[in-house]
Chains A and B, each alone.
Chain A
């Protein structure tokens, strides 16, 4: 059996831990640039406000809502606190995302010496009292079912799905897109062949699903049948790729600003590679423009590296080659691909490896603070560095098996 624990409106709940007076009022947590709602309380959701809603559109819908600047350092500390609570009880636990864990519920029954149903409720109460965050818990034979169970139990509910009739009841109503792993494209494909809800998906022919959605889709289907295919991952496996980037704030086509953001993202990317002890041999750059167009390109590096002195000129080359200066950039993403563990990669005879900028930067920043020493190119976006909450983002939280 597998249990899935999911916090209810986590960022808002974490804010309510330190600001109790926020309980019962519509609260929204704002994005990195202060323009969009990235999390909302159930009270705010009741006014039709969704994640991603721009604040100026949300405000007229709920004029008395209170908005809060995000603080990922705080959210991580609450998340780790919650994780430690569950880990004390269940040895097998997966840190799936900042507000979601999978764990082995057998330990719960032993710990509380009661039925599974009671034990799950006791854990839920214990986390509420001990951490202050309301959670929903689903228990089933597979990860996919457990997650659907916790989703259906929200807010602050528990659902143990071991009976076949209960599973059918659960799967009949949710849209097939609610299943983790069924994205918008897969959903569209399924809708085209008349599959709209989870139960219809479960009853589909596995071979046909394999053809339509590859092996991954078939795996999800078997999980809905109660066949555990995905295990609890207690140690995070090696990344397939590492990405850094996001919104660049106000849309811009100022070359100095755009290059400033490029350098910032390269510094963050090389830092993440170095932290994980990775090197990469391919880097991709993608840009989203204000006119809705999307552009991207990639470059192979002369050798697998995490050195910003090699990565930066490569991505600058593709930016300068392809960017139309009259188009306003909204988002920029850098992705490091073809990852290998440092020390296990093939070195090149033609690369100068005597540069020490990254290691000097790392040792200075370790003592003084992140980004204390950074490239002079980033002076063009000094306002981003002036706000210390930009020093720590959701992607800086390590150990999660999902984003």
Chain B
């Protein structure tokens, strides 16, 4: 999965200023609403996340000196098997209007993806997108054997 997009009007201006999201604002077409893109190729990887009822922008994955996993995704199977329990993961919702995988943009069901929140040694939050084995439909659509865990029904 390459990233997500959120329509700009769903993100408070305060957050856009605080996290300098201006250069992430994209117009998909001339007469359409602005979107904010959170891509894994960005220099600073960020994700929006609902944490305790508050929309926040946090680091996607972890880099630098930390013991947290380096990947951007958390396998649902590993989570179930307790592989991540050492990091004390908390479940979060990642709001997303669209997601892009292998270049295919698609509408995210219920506008949310499941994620986990970990805290590093300095107490800073890091978000990971939960993935699971793709349905045939998703695999046909994106050619990716893993798909994000959506809130509600899978694609």
Interface residues of A (CB under 8 A from B): 15, 19, 21-26, 30, 33-35, 43, 55-56, 59, 63-69, 249-250, 383-384, 386-389
**B138 within 8 Å of A by Cβ?**
yes
A250: which of B97, B136, B138, B143 is its contact (CB, 8 Å)? B136
Of the candidates A34, A43, A56, the one whose C-beta lies within 8 Å of that of B137 is A34
A55 adjacent to B136 (CB under 8 Å): no
Verify A56–B143 contact, CB threshold 8 A: yes
Chain A residues closer than 8 Å to B153, beta-carbon distance: 388-389
Interface residues of B in 80-104 (CB under 8 A from A): 97-98, 103-104
- List the B side residues contacting A388 at CB < 8 Å: 153
Q: Name the distance in Å between B76's Cβ and chain A's nearest Cβ.
A: 15
Q: Once the chains bind, are A65 and B136 in contact (CB under 8 Å)?
A: no
Are B98 and A23 in contact, with the CB atoms below 8 A? no
Of B16-24, B30-38, B44-52, B65-73, the stretch lying at the interface with chain A is B30-38
Given contacts A55-B141, A250-B136, A387-B135, whether A19 and B107 have CB atoms under 8 Å apart is: yes
Contact B29 A30 (CB under 8 A): no
Taking Cβ atoms with an 8 Å cutoff, the residues of B that contact A are 7, 28-33, 97-98, 103-107, 109, 135-141, 143, 153-155
Write the chain B residue with the least CB distance to A22.
B107
Q: Are B29 and A55 in contact (CB under 8 A)?
A: no
Question: Number of residue pairs across A and B with beta carbons under 8 Å?
Answer: 73
Contact between B32 and A67, CB atoms less than 8 A apart: no
CB of B137 within 8 A of CB of A66, answer no
Contact of A35 among B103, B140, B155 (CB under 8 A): B140
Interface pair A34/B107, CB less than 8 Å apart:
no
- Does A24 contact B32, Cβ atoms closer than 8 Å? yes
Q: Which residues of B contact A66 (CB under 8 A)?
A: 28, 98, 105-107
> Once the chains are docked, how many angstroms separate the CA of A19 from the CA of B135?
24
Assess whether A67 is in contact with B107, with CB atoms less than 8 Å apart: yes
Find the B residue at minimum CB distance from A68.
Answer: B107
| Given A66-B105, A387-B154, A388-B153: A35 in contact with B141 (beta carbons within 8 A) | yes
Q: Are A21 and B33 in contact (CB-based, < 8 A)?
A: yes
**A24 and B31 in contact, given A55-B104, A67-B141, A387-B137 (Cβ under 8 angstroms):** yes
Q: Smallest CB–CB gap between A157 and chain B, Å?
A: 20
Question: Chain B residues with Cβ under 8 A from A35's Cβ?
Answer: 140-141
User: Does the CB pair A25–B28 fall under 8 Å?
Assistant: yes
B109 to A, closest residue via Cβ: A69
Write out the residue numbers on chain B whose beta carbons fall within 8 Å of the beta carbon of A59. 103-104
- Taking the closest CB of chain A, its distance from the CB of B99, in whole angstroms, is 10
Bound complex: CA A56 to CA B142 (Å): 8
Question: Chain A residues near B28 (CB, 8 Å)?
Answer: 25, 64, 66
Q: Which residues of B lie under 8 Å from residue A250 when comparing CB positions?
A: 136, 140
Are B106 and A23 in contact, CB atoms less than 8 angstroms apart? no
Contact, CB under 8 Å: B29 / A63: no
Q: What's the Cα separation between A239 and B30 when bound, in Å?
A: 47
Residue of A nearest to B155 (CB): A69
Provide the bound-state CA to CA distance between A59 and B103, in Å.
Answer: 7
- Of the candidates A34, A56, A389, the one whose C-beta lies within 8 Å of that of B138 is A34
Q: Is there an interface contact between B32 and A25, defined as CB atoms closer than 8 Å?
A: yes
Residues of A within 8 A of B97 (CB): 21
* Contact (Cβ within 8 A) B137 A33: yes
- A69 contacts which chain B residues (CB < 8 A)? 106-107, 109, 137, 155
> Nearest residue in A to B26 (C-beta to C-beta)?
A64
A sample of 13 cross-chain residue pairs with beta-carbon separation below 8 angstroms, ordered by A number, consists of A21-B33, A25-B28, A25-B29, A35-B140, A55-B141, A56-B143, A66-B98, A67-B107, A68-B107, A69-B137, A250-B136, A384-B136, A387-B135
Whether the Cβ atoms of A33 and B136 lie closer than 8 Å is yes
Which of A22, A34, A43 is most buried by chain B, counting CB atoms within 10 A of its CB?
Answer: A34
Contact residues in A for B135 (Cβ distance below 8 Å): 383, 386-387
CA distance A56 to B103 in the complex (A): 9
A59-B103, A383-B136, A388-B153 given; A24·B30 CB < 8 A: yes
> In whole angstroms, what is the CA distance A249 to B29 when docked?
33
B154 partner residues in chain A, CB cutoff 8 A: 387
Q: B103 contacts which chain A residues (CB < 8 A)?
A: 59, 63
Nearest B residue (CB) for A67: B106
The 4 closest A-B pairs by CB, nearest first: A34-B137, A34-B141, A24-B31, A34-B140
Output the least CB separation between B108 and chain A (Å): 10
Q: Which of B28, B138, B154 has the most CB of A within 10 A?
A: B28
Inter-chain contacts of A249 with B (CB < 8 A): 136, 140
Q: Roughly how many angstroms separate A388 CA and B155 CA in the complex, as a whole number?
A: 10
B7 CB, min distance to chain A CBs, angstroms:
5
Question: Can you name the residue of chain B whose Cβ is closest to the Cβ of A19?
Answer: B107
Distance between Cα atoms of A369 and B9 in the complex (Å): 38
Q: Hey, which chain B residues are within 8 Å of A15, CB to CB? A: 107
A22 to B35, CA, bound (A): 12
In the complex formed, the residue of B with least CB distance to A69 is B155
Give 12 new A-B contacts, CB below 8 A, not counting A55-B141, A66-B98, A386-B135.
Answer: A19-B107, A21-B33, A24-B30, A24-B31, A30-B141, A63-B103, A66-B107, A67-B105, A67-B141, A384-B136, A387-B137, A388-B153
- Minimal beta-carbon separation of B143 from chain A (angstroms): 7
Q: Are B32's CB and A23's CB within 8 A?
A: yes
